[in-house]
Structures are given as structure tokens and as C-alpha cells.
């Protein structure tokens, strides 16, 4: 049963009712999602909602909020509904053309920054940039770097460019549309190559959460029959694009560590490094260097 209807729809009443309603529908982060969606409707930050508890949103605002709640229960991710997601201290525009940034990917950014810190004016390549969350975060944190970002999707690149402008790093970034290394000019080399490639095996799609499976771009998820298609291609092709001693960092699914390390070990130009674990202690980033 839905919770009782309040007599006056204040901000507080809306949040309490919606949180209880989402809980009855099995939404795990009901309170957080209710707050994020209402803050979006009221064009404010979630942290300021408590200061507006006694305000009464207009009928139009309540109608928009109800529409967003309905879409959320139909499976749409909150990030797409509000059009943004926080990642590595920044805010990124997102839409259904790009994968929603995950906190696990911050492990890749953190490791990349460790390797970039001692370098002067490093050149960085992000393969399959999507929203640009990795590339833009690196450019933002490493002020003297130049970051090149590639993606096969022109729509994804448009989002990444928007995020570079939004976070004031566009003047130190280059965006190229094409498959993996294909759009890069001949002879270009990098101090660091990073990628969070598609790594879901085709047989695993049925097991994905509905909001991921039905709404996030399949091109950013589909790693081929065994989930390793892009790791094979990157490992085989990256050598000429790395400077001597340059690093390769690849985000992986938590069950893929041994398989991806084996693929890299087959490449005579590459020397395997440690696998970095995420905050949940799962293998998350396979590392290597060019010999």
C-alpha cells in the first residue's frame, strides 16, 4: 500500500511520502533518489533541501516530480533523469549516449594520477572515453597534461566535449571519433594510455540490472562473447602508441583479472605490473608498462 497522503505538500512531506513509496517498490536508495530528483525539479542542490522543508512546490513542480518518479520506477537510471553524475570531485553531464560513471572507475583515475605526478607535460590517451569522466578528471587534476580522448560514438564524444568545457579543461584536450586507435595520427605516442572498455560478456546481459541492461548504451557494455574482445585488441595494438616506460591501465570486471593479465603477457613489448584493487577489495585495474 502507498503511504498516507499528506494534507499539505511541503518539500518535507514530498520527500517523506516519496521515500516511503519508493521503498514499497523495492528501491534500495529510496531516500537518496527522492532527494536527487526533487532537488533537480526545484533547481537546487540536494544539500539545500533541508533549508526549504517548509516550502510548498507549485503544482507544475509536483507534476514534474511525479513524472520523474514514474520514469524511475519504469527503470530509468536517476543519473539520466537529472542529466548528471558526480565523479572524482567533478560533475559530469550524462545522457543515454554514454555509460553512467561509476565510483569503481575512480580507482583507475587514482592510479593514473600517481603515475602522472612525477611527469612534466605528459601526453595521455583515453580509449573509449564515453562521458569523458576519466579523461576530464585527469586533465583537471594534472594541470600540465594534454589528454586525447577517442570514442567510436559521435554522440558520446559530444557529451565528453561538453564535460571538458564545463570543467574548464577543453583547451588541453583533443577529441577524436573512431574505433580505438584508428583516429590517431601516425607516429603519435603517449606517456599513459587508459581505458575502461566494454567488458560485459554477451551471455551475461540477461543478468544485468534492468536499468543498466535496458537504458545504458549497449555499445559501451558489450565486450563480445567472452567479455574480452576489446582487451585483446588494445593489448595487441597499444605498443607503438606508448613511449618507452609508458604505462597502460585497463579497468576490468572483477572476474577478469587472470584473463586480461594473460592477454597482456602475450605481448613482447609489454611488461605486466600489479593489479590494483578497488574500495571493495576487488581486482579493478590491470597495469602494464612498455619495455
Question: Known binding site for substrate: residues?
Answer: 196-199
Helix axes 229-237, 257-265, angle to 10 degrees: 30
Which parts are annotated binding residues?
128-132, 151, 196-199
Helix axes 11-24, 30-41, angle to 10 degrees: 140
Q: How far apart are CA 128 and CA 182, in angstroms?
A: 12
Three-state DSSP string of 104-135: HHHHHHHHHHHHHCCCCCCEEEEECCCCCHHH
**β 242-251/283-290 pair status:** antiparallel
Contact 150, 178 (CB under 8 A): yes
Which parts are annotated binding residues for S-adenosyl-L-methionine?
128-132, 151, 196
Amino acid at each position: 500500500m502507498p503511504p498516507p497522503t499528506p494534507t499539505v505538500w511541503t518539500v518535507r512531506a514530498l520527500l517523506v511520502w516519496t521515500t516511503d513509496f519508493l521503498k514499497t517498490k523495492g528501491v534500495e536508495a529510496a531516500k537518496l533518489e527522492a532527494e536527487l530528483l526533487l532537488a533537480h525539479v526545484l533547481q537546487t542542490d540536494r544539500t539545500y533541501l533541508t533549508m526549504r522543508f517548509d516550502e510548498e512546490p507549485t503544482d507544475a513542480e509536483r507534476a514534474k516530480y511525479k513524472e520523474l518518479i514514474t520514469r524511475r520506477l519504469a527503470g530509468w537510471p536517476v543519473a539520466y533523469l537529472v542529466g548528471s553524475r558526480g565523479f572524482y570531485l567533478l560533475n559530469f553531464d550524462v545522457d543515454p549516449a554514454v555509460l553512467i560513471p561509476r565510483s569503481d572507475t575512480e580507482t583507475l583515475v587514482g592510479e593514473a594520477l600517481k603515475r602522472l605526478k612525477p611527469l612534466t607535460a605528459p601526453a595521455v590517451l583515453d580509449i573509449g572515453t564515453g562521458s569523458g569522466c576519466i579523461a576530464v578528471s585527469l586533465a583537471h587534476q594534472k594541470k600540465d597534461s594534454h589528454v586525447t580522448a577517442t570514442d567510436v560514438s559521435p554522440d558520446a564524444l559530444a557529451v565528453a566535449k561538453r564535460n571538458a568545457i564545463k570543467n574548464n579543461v577543453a583547451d588541453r584536450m583533443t577529441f577524436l571519433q573512431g574505433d580505438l586507435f584508428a583516429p590517431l595520427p601516425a607516429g603519435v605516442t603517449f606517456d599513459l594510455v587508459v581505458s575502461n572498455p566494454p567488458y560485459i560478456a554477451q551471455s551475461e546481459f540477461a543478468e544485468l540490472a534492468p536499468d543498466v541492461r535496458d537504458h545504458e548504451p549497449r555499445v559501451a557494455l558489450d565486450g563480445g562473447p567472452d567479455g574480452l574482445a576489446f582487451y585483446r585488441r588494445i593489448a595487441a595494438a597499444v605498443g607503438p602508441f606508448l613511449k618507452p616506460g609508458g604505462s597502460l591501465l585497463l579497468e576490468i570486471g572483477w572476474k577478469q583479472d587472470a584473463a586480461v593479465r594473460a592477454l597482456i603477457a602475450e605481448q613482447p613489448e609489454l611488461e605486466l605490473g600489479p593489479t590494483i584493487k578497488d574500495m571493495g577489495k576487488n581486482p579493478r585495474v590491470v597495469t602494464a608498462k612498455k619495455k
